[in-house]
Chain A
Amino acid sequence: AAGVIQSPRHLIKEKRETATLKCYPIPRHDTVYWYQQGPGQDPQFLISFYEKMQSDKGSIPDRFSAQQFSDYHSELNMSSLELGDSALYFCASSLGESGSEQFFGPGTRLTVL
């Protein structure tokens, strides 16, 4: 069965650079979520989209932005990168219905030097 695809899987950037992470949800899933997981920490919700509209916002820095496109894939744009942005970034998708399951992607490991 198709799963959530994230690219790239690994990314190394310098401080103050920008990064773009991509997420391709499971076909027919209309909701996408982004989570950040720092070393030794639990995943933290960043932002979500339902039918291409932002549906919820968590602890996402102003330096980050995201959007969901017409084909339902989503991109997380990160600017002015800081050392503290080094983390695993997970994308999850679901049908957006109460009781449905969120499927997580393999994550993108971002390292900021």
Chain B
Amino acid sequence: LAKTTQPISMDSYEGQEVNITCSHNNIATNDYITWYQQFPSQGPRFIIQGYKTKVTNEVASLFIPADRKSSTLSLPRVSLSDTAVYYCLVGDGGASKIIFGSGTRLSIRP
């Protein structure tokens, strides 16, 4: 499983766009990039998944450059409720275990 590196913490303000970048230099050809969000004492929640280029859903966008060695999760117009830990994961998705890294603790201020 490819190792990922992401910032330990980030701070932002309500209404701002937040971009969290994740490095995964050893990503394999069949690996997907998946982001999960976790609130305290709750199970991780799937945010978005992509393989290449750009993926967008109602919650976030995921930008993946051509070499796939990094990815950026973009959260538009964050609110206080977006305060959580965000995990970047690389692997074959639902077909195997998730190895959680340290995650990025995002704090949103009024």
Q: Do A and B bind each other?
A: yes
Tell whether, in the assembled complex, residue A99 and residue B103 are in contact, meaning their CB atoms are under 8 Å apart: no
Quick check: is A92 within 8 A (CB to CB) of the other chain?
yes
Given contacts A42-B102, A43-B100, is CB(A97)–CB(B41) below 8 Å? no
A-B contact count (CB 8 A): 76
- Which stretch (A13-21, A67-75, A78-86, A100-108) binds chain B? A100-108
A94 touches B94 (CB 8 A): yes
B7 within 8 A of A: no
Given contacts A94-B94, A107-B41, A109-B41, contact A102 B102 (CB under 8 A): no
Q: 1/0 per position for B92-104, CB-CB distance to A under 8 A? A: 1111111111110
- Docked CA distance A100–B87 (Å): 17
B94, A102: Cβ atoms closer than 8 Å:
yes
Q: Once the chains bind, are A100 and B44 in contact (CB under 8 Å)?
A: no
Using Cβ atoms and an 8 Å threshold, which residues of chain A touch B34? 101
Inter-chain contact B101/A42, CB cutoff 8 Å:
yes
Asked if A95 is an interface residue, CB under 8 A from chain B, the answer is yes
Contact between B93 and A101, CB atoms less than 8 A apart: yes
Residues of B whose CB lies within 8 Å of any CB of A are 30, 32, 34, 38, 41-46, 49, 51, 87, 92-103
Chain A positions within 8 Å of B, measured between CB atoms, are: 4, 31, 33, 35, 42-45, 48, 56, 58, 88, 90, 92, 94-107, 109
